[in-house]
Amino acid sequence: MTDPLRLGVVGLGRAFMLMLPTLAQHPLVRLVGASDPREEARRQFEADFSRPHLPARAYASLEQLCADERVEALYIASPHQFHVEHVRLAAQAGKHILVEKPMALTIEDCQAMIDAARRNAVHLMVGHSHSFDAPYLRTAMLIRSGSFGRPRMITAANYTDFLYRPRRPEELDTSQGGGVVFSQAAHQVDVVRLLAASAARSVRAVTGRFDPSRPTEGAYQAFLTFDEGASATLTYSGYGRYDSDEALNWFGEMGRKRNPESYGAARRALAKVSTPEEEAALKNTRAYGIAPSAIGSFARPAAHNHFGHIIVSCEKADLRPMADGVMIYADDKRWLEPLPQPAVPRAEVIDELYAAVRKNVPPLHSGEWGMATLEICLGILESARSGNETVLAHQRARGPVLGGGL
């Protein structure tokens, strides 16, 4: 019989809402505590997650949550700029940690978080990023089987409406972790690093700020090189025109079927607000404790999460992770390696956390992994500013541990 991990949540905001279907349904985790400054969110949490003989408790401060002895691990889903302090407090309280991406905004803060976890003998994981997704894990396992030779060239492209979803002012300020490089490149870089199967060496990039009313990076292109000769091109646009879900049979990022006739919906909704305060209020309509609770009514996703169009060119085949499997293009035939429909979205995140805490399995998405990803994100910004290639210094050459029952 399994012993579910007793989890607390720091920040009942948008990141928590995206992980809510996973946290509410995965059999290896129980939500027992949370902290958030909003009273309505705390009330909703206690109503949604209290069980007979196991009440859920929500607190106004992280310190109060850390003092709850029932909590074994914390999912830190607070805004980016608070991650380093919240990880330190959690580690000092002896709690294992899953911290949202990006791990932090500076390499120094990443190292401080790693040191705090090591000093207090707790596991530190970074995520969710899309490198947890089953299609990318399966592709990485196929690559590591040796059947298709080494990866030589990776093409990754994603086009979304990210920049036109409702934002708070700091989410449009790069210095505070706003823009697509910190929030979206962290996904794409993680996936490409996983598939390249070697340490990144350098990055050269350009970024785009195409809309003065959204004064942060809304797009980028980057070229990565790796130690064993592989290279990768990364393209991302959040300007809400072409949508790369069109190339994935209209399966959305969260594994659900999308209606292509909803084209332009994000821009139309945003056009109805005229001030930053109105935009923040629009975003809050989707916040936990304000939006209607969905507990007990989650629909099973039709396919797996994904992050756009990706092709890995190996020495003997091209591999294309899809929302429902991995397409393999060999010399004389092509075929789909299918994946079963997921019962719980993003289950791999909890699987990895549970294995670390209960079985002491070193996680793939460790603090060191998260720091290496952030270094590339920072390298994209620096290369775009300077016009020069950025050489990387905090990458890891060891092969990741892959699992998740795939």
Q: What confidence score (pLDDT) does residue 404 get?
A: 43
Q: Domain for residue 404, yes or no?
A: no
Q: Domain for residue 406, yes or no?
A: no
Taking only the tens place, the pLDDT of each residue in 157-207 is 999 999 999 999 999 999 999 999 999 999 999 999 999 999 999 999 999
Residue 398 confidence (pLDDT) above 60: no
pLDDT band at 296 (very low <50, low <70, confident <90, very high): confident
Q: What confidence score (pLDDT) does residue 291 get?
A: 81
Residues 107 and 188 in one domain: no
Residues 120 and 137 in one domain: no
Question: Greater confidence, 399 or 253?
Answer: 253
Question: Greater confidence, 293 or 9?
Answer: 9
Taking only the tens place, the pLDDT of each residue in 25-58 is 999 999 999 999 999 999 999 999 999 888 999 9
- Domain range for 161: 131-294+301-344+373-391
Q: What percent of the chain has pLDDT over 70?
A: 97
CA distance 392 to 401: 22
Residues 188 and 122 in one domain: no
Q: What is the mean pLDDT of residues 337-348?
A: 95
Of the listed ranges 74-78, 272-276, 400-404, the one predicted with least confidence:
400-404
By the 8 A CB rule, do 188 and 307 touch?
yes
Count the domains in the chain. 2
Residues 84 and 165 in one domain: no
Residue 243 confidence (pLDDT) above 80: yes
Residues 145 and 94 in one domain: no
3-state secondary structure the chain: CCCCEEEEEECCCHHHHHHHHHHHHCCCEEEEEEECCCHHHHHHHHHHHCECCECCEEECCHHHHHCCCCCCEEEECCCHHHHHHHHHHHHHCCCEEEECCCCCCCHHHHHHHHHHHHHCCCCEEECCCHHHCHHHHHHHHHHHCCCCCCEEEEEEEEECCHHHCCCCHHHHCHHHCCCHHHHHHHHHHHHHHHHHCCCEEEEEEEEECCCCCCCCCCEEEEEEEECCCCEEEEEEECCCCCCHHHHHCCECCCCCECCHHHCCHHHHHHCCCCCHHHHHHHHHCCCECCECCCCCCCCCCCCCCCCCEEEEEECCCEEEECCCEEEEECCCCEEEEECCCCCCCCHHHHHHHHHHHHHCCCCCCEHHHHHHHHHHHHHHHHHHHHCCCEECCCCCCCCCCCCCCC
Whichever domain contains 17, its CATH number is 3.40.50.720
Residues 149 and 197 in one domain: yes
Residues 78 and 176 in one domain: no
Residues 111 and 248 in one domain: no
Q: What confidence score (pLDDT) does residue 117 get?
A: 98
Q: Domain for residue 90, yes or no?
A: yes
pLDDT averaged over every residue in the chain = 94
Residue 401 confidence (pLDDT) above 60: no
Residues 87 and 165 in one domain: no
Q: Domain for residue 401, yes or no?
A: no
Q: What confidence score (pLDDT) does residue 405 get?
A: 38
Residue 148 confidence (pLDDT) above 60: yes
Q: What confidence score (pLDDT) does residue 406 get?
A: 38
pLDDT band at 402 (very low <50, low <70, confident <90, very high): low
Residues 161 and 307 in one domain: yes
Residues 269 and 387 in one domain: yes
Residues 186 and 262 in one domain: yes
Residue 143 confidence (pLDDT) above 80: yes
Q: Domain for residue 403, yes or no?
A: no
pLDDT band at 214 (very low <50, low <70, confident <90, very high): very high
Q: What is the mean pLDDT of residues 114-126?
A: 98
Q: Strand 151-159 vs strand 309-314: parallel, antiparallel, or unpaired?
A: antiparallel
Q: What is the mean pLDDT of residues 197-221?
A: 97
Q: What percent of the chain has pLDDT over 90?
A: 90
Taking only the tens place, the pLDDT of each residue in 281-294 is 998 888 898 888 77
Q: What is the pTM of this model?
A: 0.95
pLDDT band at 1 (very low <50, low <70, confident <90, very high): low
